[in-house]
Chain A
Amino acid sequence: MSLIINGAEYELASPPLTSLLNVLREEVGLLSPKAGCQQGGCGTCTVLIDGEPRRACLTPLGAIEGAAITTVEGLGDPRNLSPVQAAFHEHYAAQCGFCTPGMMMAATGLLARRPDATRDDVLEALAGHFCRCTGYVKIVDAVLSAAAGRVDTTRPEPEAEPGEPSVVIPGSPA
């Protein structure tokens, strides 16, 4: 079996019924797709298969002979982030970070298909992607700002500047 993974061609020894998730993690050694449930329920294993976000845990290797796979490792590195990566960093959309690779791949797939994605598009694309930490708001904001081109991929560090408290508390000594 062979796959094109992040642009490079691989000949694989795993049997055809091995899940793509196990092929990537255990044979190829690409560790960004995570095994959150291995039954299609959480989205942490999501990768692009020929440009479409797919759950690697439910995809047998034998079903995708020759396909092009993209993982987070294929998006960008710390000095050269993709717009989605930069937006997730700027918007604090990764807390524990375990759901983040799957979220980013779903968002990358969406924006490739619909560069001007709306909030509804984002919500639909992220449906079934489980995040236990963030409460989703920052993730949706990150994807929308990437869609609007409001990210600076050359300076991904958020600026350290004092913010304004959002609620003015009467009688607060501060």
Chain B
Amino acid sequence: MKAVGARLPRYDGLQHVTGQSVYVDDVRVPDMLWAKALRSTVHSAEIKKLDVSKALRVPGVHAVVTHEDVPVNIVGHLAALGVPADEPLLAEHEVRYQGQPIAVVAAETEEIAQEAVNAIEISYEEREPFLDIRKAFDPDVPKVSPSGNLFVYEPYTERRVRKGDIDWAFEKADRIVQGVYRPAAIEHCPTETQVALVVPEATGRLVIYSCTQAMYFSMGVVATHLGVSLNDLKFVGGTVGGGFGGKVDTAAETISALLAIKAKRPVKWRWTREEEFLCSSVRATWHVEIADAVTKDGWILGRRTLTLHDAGAYTRFSSYGATKHAFHLGGAYTIPNLSFNAYVIWSNHVPTTAMRGFGVTSVSFAVELHMTRIATVLGIDPWELRLKNASRVGDTAPTRVVLKDPSAVPTIQAAAQAAGVELASEYRAMTNAPRKGKTLPRHLVDQLGAWRDNGGR
């Protein structure tokens, strides 16, 4: 254990403190143009008219791109995993969120580019937006996508997790403890806003300076939109002014590339702080409902949950995030009987995306508040309730994986110690070791028994 806990110098520390780190905005190339975007001013609308001819006539403008310029406009971030492509790079006949890019201009200066954007003629026929995901099951709400507002996990409309015999648990329970938890959306707010610089080479290859957190992933997204192969792109990245998940989406690279191809000049697109806040993806809003079947002495026999995840206008990574969420809804605790349903819901909010612990922080928020609620309802010490139900070696996760080295017990003990909480001796002495005696109640004896008896369903 020489590396863990060692103080190693940051590999980029000296260049950071001497101002020598080269972020995308610091790359200097000759003849560079600046980009500015026309973005939707409304949450939901048909585009009735889009005319960029006046923008093209502004002196100093070198290119304008709309959806017509994109070889493959509709691409899915998780197409490689079989998730249907649903998001246009540039809006076609409709806009589904405020801030959605519609047309982008490259010009000699940012000011000229903005002037040209202002000259683009656009008219909308506004539609009623769908913004409250709790109403997703109401047949009268506006549809975000022609197929409705629910992403489909074939063959279900929700990600399901089932384990044990949930009805048995709710019959046997002394109390049912219910709660609703709603972690709100969060903007990643990196100090460096989204930015890309694309330099066309004489060979036709594009050099793409990118702030992406996911180089090879972003290369794939750009290549797919442009209909080119990966060796037509040279990505330069690795110096990122903060990302936190928000720079996994490929935000500025593809459009800058299209402009650079059209203008035959290098193009930089640096989002403003307003664009970062209003138009870049955010951590989703989640709505999590939990009902736990508990015994008087603090055992959790079963858990039912309903999760609504606000994907925003397009799927991006949401189906993956909600799957991860559903797999973790047991928290750090072992509950043998489970029924989890997690829905990915499209709304007219800005598309949501990965952020630090994607899908799982919403679990921690909901489950830990719920554990404290159970303790309060039962009049049990919240630390003891947690330690009692904490996963141990040999317990099974919601996915029925047998746990080999769970860390819940030592983590909760360390948290108690750090918080200055004196645990009762039996909880201080508790370890990860497989359950036996008092720590092995009947309902945890054969954790996969009911599932097997059900024929593995």
The stretch of B3-11, B120-128, B286-294, B341-349 that contacts the partner chain: B3-11
A163 touches B192 (CB 8 A): no
A96 touches B192 (CB 8 A): yes
The stretch of A61-69, A75-83, A109-117, A120-128 that contacts the partner chain: A75-83
Q: Which of B231-280 contact A (CB under 8 A)?
A: 240-244, 270, 272-273
Asked whether B409 is an interface residue with its Cβ less than 8 Å from the other chain, the reply is yes
Which chain A residues lie closer than 8 Å to B203 at the CB level? none
Q: Would you give the shortest CB distance from B16 to chain A, in whole angstroms?
A: 3
A132 touches B191 (CB 8 A): yes
A98 touches B6 (CB 8 A): no
Which chain B residues lie closer than 8 Å to A92 at the CB level? 10, 13
A101 touches B19 (CB 8 A): yes
Interface size bracket, A side: 35 or more
The A/B interface has a contact count, at CB < 8 Å, of 134
| Complex Cα–Cα for A172 and B409 (A) | 10
Binding site of B, secondary structure by majority: helix, strand, loop or mixed?
A: loop
Asked whether B17 is an interface residue with its Cβ less than 8 Å from the other chain, the reply is yes
Q: Would you give the shortest CB distance from B335 to chain A, in whole angstroms?
A: 22
B5 touches A164 (CB 8 A): yes
Q: Would you give the shortest CB distance from A34 to chain B, in whole angstroms?
A: 7
Q: Which of A24-59 contact B (CB under 8 A)?
A: 29, 31-32, 34-39, 41-42, 44
Q: Would you give the shortest CB distance from A138 to chain B, in whole angstroms?
A: 11
Which chain A residues lie closer than 8 Å to B5 at the CB level? 162-165
Which chain A residues lie closer than 8 Å to B10 at the CB level? 89, 92, 94
Which chain B residues lie closer than 8 Å to A85 at the CB level? 17-18
Binding site of A, secondary structure by majority: helix, strand, loop or mixed?
A: loop
Asked whether B226 is an interface residue with its Cβ less than 8 Å from the other chain, the reply is no
25 A-B pairs with C-beta separation under 8 A: A32-B19, A34-B241, A36-B193, A37-B273, A38-B272, A38-B273, A41-B273, A42-B191, A42-B273, A73-B18, A81-B18, A85-B18, A89-B13, A96-B191, A96-B241, A97-B241, A98-B190, A98-B241, A100-B16, A100-B17, A160-B8, A165-B4, A168-B417, A171-B430, A171-B432
Q: How many residues of B contact A (CB 8 A)?
A: 49
| Complex Cα–Cα for A169 and B411 (A) | 7
Closest 3 CB pairs of A and B: A32-B19, A98-B241, A97-B16
B19 touches A160 (CB 8 A): no
| Complex Cα–Cα for A44 and B241 (A) | 11
Which chain A residues lie closer than 8 Å to B22 at the CB level? 31
Interface residues of A (CB under 8 A from B): 29, 31-32, 34-39, 41-42, 44, 71-73, 75-78, 81, 85-86, 88-89, 92, 94, 96-101, 104, 130-133, 156-165, 167-172, 174
A98 touches B192 (CB 8 A): yes
